[in-house]
Amino acid sequence: MGHKAADRIRNVALIGHRGSGKTSLCEALLFEAGVINRLGSVDDGSTTFDFEPDEQARSMSIGASIASFEYGDRKINLIDTPGEASFVAEALGALRVVDAAVVVINAVMGVEVHTERLWERADREGLARLVFVNMLDRERADFFRSLDSLKEAFGAHVVATEIPIGSEHEVRGVIDLIDMKAFTYEGDGRGNATEGEIPDELRAQAEEYREKLMDEVAENSDELMERYLEGEEISHEELVTALKKGVTEGHLFPVTCGVATHNLGTNRLLDAFVEDVPSPAMRGAVRALDGDGNEMEIEPSEDADLVAYVFKTTADPYTGRINMLRVYSGVLKSDSQAFNVTQSSKERIGQLAAPCGKETSTVDELGAGDIGAVAKLRETQAGDVLADKDTGVAFPPLDLPAPVMAFAFEPKSKGDEEKAASALRRLEEEDPTLDVHRDPDTGEQIIAGLTQIHVEVIVDRMKRRYGAEIELHPPRVPYLETIRKPAKAHGRYKKQTGGRGQFGDCHIEIEPVETGAGFEFVNAIKGGVIPGGFIPAVEKGIAEAMQQGVLAGYPIKDLKVTLFDGQHHSVDSSEMAFKIAGSMAFKQAAAEADPYLLEPIVQVAISVPEENVGDVVGDLNSRRGRPMGVEPKGSMTEVKAEVPMAEVLDYATDLRAMTGGRGDYTMEFERYEEVPGHMAQKVISEAQAADEEKVRA
């Protein structure tokens, strides 16, 4: 595939809700362009794009896949993105590097929630957008109802440039409202559209929608609007030019339609890529940040310095890392050197490639505006910038949702800790919405993702790619303990076993301090009754005992300990003896200081459709939540609340059920509060039962 100038390139992402047929549409576009010679099926895993075993097993896209191909005299870089919200990072990464998005709509369902979120992100990235209403042959499919839902969600500038001929299983073609011609299709053969006159029974409807199109196009040009209102004829050429300008500038969003699985209408969408979608050259400069964090612009010029952005990293156990990137300026050549600005390191660029699903073809260079892949870079990963030299250029980090579905995990087999850790490190490089860490409060290893499906896919990939198996458990809530009142205690450790013994003796007083003050140790020993060298040992023994708690084994916080008396033995005393004595004294004092249990309170921000707000608020109340406010956010409503963490460990699954998959939320720690009596007793009983189980084991 030869080098193309920026004005001959089209970078397009297909986005939309899961089940709208994006992968089938990609397949049909490749078939139409002559890249593949038969249409694969998503159901049997034979598509060019969904080639990962987990994608085939679940019949859905999990990663963004690229197909670079030539059509006419243009190079098209087409990116198929997942529509499942669990893998939204893949779609958002793709939207960063394309110049246009085709929003694919299921003609039965119309605009669904994930489509709205992706549309908003495409808008933020300043992308041109086309809409393809797919699956017109399905029962209850309705193009005009879908068009209404598009206008309701995205405004009046969404305008049909085609309408279908026939409906549901009788759909047989489309009417082009720009040329006012009918295109009928026979079977599913390539290029099998017959051009003809608009059927008489559809003429009035076509005229009506043609007029709506003319209204919208004319509105984007004062000169055209004036002539249009005066009844003057707008030429075909003027209409096409004004439409392309409106699309490029983000003022017009043409709606086309078809049936991807029957290859109906897809040739026209491919032509729209060439005619209506802006090239990198036409889109012009993109925004980035300079070395001082100030906004700058990068022009798509091959004569400028190299700036390339890596938007996706795949970790492969055999070929290593594969990085997908877009060149914004300059030229990136195979077998060359580049500087990773983000990591401040030099990289040797090996062979560049143009991917087409899992197949790749080699290319000598990628010019400004082009997208491609490179393998085996040492340190480079998604989000990094490659340049000729250390320019400090950066792109703002992608605004990704926070991982909220957490599980504790452990390797299935003892001794597999390192294998599991290595596999998870590689998968974290590939997926920025995956979070793997050790909980400092409970000591558990935690894996957190966006949804349960997300975490399950990661676990499957670990096993398949790296042979590492882990078991998932609900994570422990990081409860804490503290005290209400002062208490004194005496700890004495004495052991005589022949020869030198062990002796340590200390008196302490503990008292509560204000929330968040932590642990304070006061040495009030007078007269050397405990030598100075043993004091740190007493403190260490107390600090270690604080980690175990006295109610349910959770760490104790926010207290002051005063060491005020004790005894020592000139021969038998040791650091170990005083450490044990300190620990004994603390446990006794804490048990008498009216200890109580604290639980973490989190703030949740829940985004739901208006009609689900009542159900969500009612459910939060049943979880001991305190709603803090409700406010409209675009097409959704945001509910904020404070809830005990223990009540929302499984919230993701319940929210999906309550909102039909349309709800989303973020969660962050707020503070600790006392656990109500009946709940505290339950936690303490469970902890005691777990301890007894350990003893029996």
Task: Report which residue type is found at 643.
Answer: V
The reported pLDDT for the residue numbered 239 is 80
> Computed over its alpha carbons, how large is the radius of gyration of the chain?
32
Enumerate the H helices of 467-523 as residue ranges.
Answer: none
Residue identified by tokens 């549901």 is 168
Q: What gap in Å lies between CA 248 and CA 127, rounded to an integer?
A: 8
Arithmetic mean of pLDDT, 367-385: 91
Arithmetic mean of pLDDT, 300-325: 88
Among 647, 484, 492, 644, CA closest to 551? 484
Does 429 have pLDDT greater than 90?
Answer: no
Question: Which runs of E-coded beta strand occur in 317-411?
Answer: 320-329, 331-333, 336-340, 345-349, 352-356, 359-363, 365-367, 371-375, 385-387, 405-411
pLDDT confidence band for 561 (50 / 70 / 90): very high
Within 8 A by CB and 6+ apart from 16, the residues are: 22, 83, 103, 104, 105, 106, 112, 114, 115, 118
In order, the DSSP letters of 510-578 are EEE--TT--EEEEE---TTSS-GGGHHHHHHHHHHHHTT-SSSSPPB-SEEEEEEEEE--TTTB-HHHH
Q: Are strands 74-80 and 9-15 parallel, antiparallel or unpaired?
A: parallel
SS3 429: helix
Indicate if 598-679 has the same CATH topology as 480-593.
no
In order, the DSSP letters of 592-617 are TS-EEEEEEEEEEEEEE-GGGHHHHH
CATH among 3.40.1410.10, 3.30.70.240, 3.40.50.1820, 3.50.50.60 for 598-679: 3.30.70.240
Let me know the angle formed at the C-alpha of 645 by 92 and 686, rounded to the nearest 5 degrees.
135
Total length of the chain:
697
Within 8 A by CB and 6+ apart from 347, the residues are: 337, 338, 339, 340, 377, 378, 379, 380, 386
* Residue pLDDT, tens place only, 472-528: 988 778 889 999 999 999 999 998 777 778 999 999 999 999 988 889 999 999 999
φ and ψ of 311, to 5 deg: -110, -10
The reported pLDDT for the residue numbered 311 is 94
Q: Rounded to the nearest 10 degrees, how much is the dihedral formed by the CA atoms of 206, 212, 215, 220?
A: -110
Task: Report which residue type is found at 560.
Answer: K
Enumerate the H helices of 143-221 as residue ranges.
Answer: 143-154, 200-219
CATH among 3.40.190.180, 3.40.630.10, 3.30.1330.40, 3.30.230.10 for 480-593: 3.30.230.10
Q: What gap in Å lies between CA 87 and CA 114, rounded to an integer?
A: 11
- SS3 track for 9-24: EEEEEEECCCCCCHHH
Beta bridge partners of 596: 482
Within 8 A by CB and 6+ apart from 44, the residues are: none
H/E element holding 485? none
* Residue pLDDT, tens place only, 250-289: 889 999 999 998 888 898 899 899 888 999 999 988 999 8
Among 559, 571, 536, 555, CA closest to 489? 559
pLDDT confidence band for 110 (50 / 70 / 90): confident
Does 346 have pLDDT greater than 90?
Answer: yes
pLDDT confidence band for 189 (50 / 70 / 90): very low
Enumerate the H helices of 33-127 as residue ranges.
Answer: 53-58, 88-97, 113-124
The reported pLDDT for the residue numbered 398 is 87
Please check whether residue 372 is in contact with residue 365, taking contact to mean a CB–CB distance below 8 angstroms.
Answer: no
* Residue pLDDT, tens place only, 598-654: 998 988 888 888 899 999 999 999 999 999 999 887 667 889 999 998 898 878 888
* Residue pLDDT, tens place only, 190-225: 457 888 899 999 999 999 999 898 888 887 777 777
SS3 142: coil
Arithmetic mean of pLDDT, 7-28: 91
Please check whether residue 137 is in contact with residue 105, taking contact to mean a CB–CB distance below 8 angstroms.
Answer: no
Can you give the residue ranges of every domain in the chain?
6-279, 286-387, 405-473, 480-593, 598-679
Q: What gap in Å lies between CA 319 and CA 465, rounded to an integer?
A: 12
CATH among 3.40.50.300, 3.40.630.10, 3.40.190.10, 3.40.50.1820 for 6-279: 3.40.50.300
Query: Does the 286-387 domain belong in CATH 3.30.565.10?
Result: no
SS3 636: strand
**Widest Cα–Cα separation across the chain:** 115
Please check whether residue 541 is in contact with residue 579, taking contact to mean a CB–CB distance below 8 angstroms.
Answer: yes
Compute the Cα dihedral for 550, 551, 557, 561 and give only its sign.
Answer: negative
Q: What gap in Å lies between CA 509 and CA 522, rounded to an integer?
A: 10
The CATH classification number of 405-473 equals 3.30.70.870
Question: Does the model's pTM come out above 0.85?
Answer: no
Q: What gap in Å lies between CA 317 and CA 313, rounded to an integer?
A: 13
Among 293, 363, 308, 349, CA closest to 75? 363
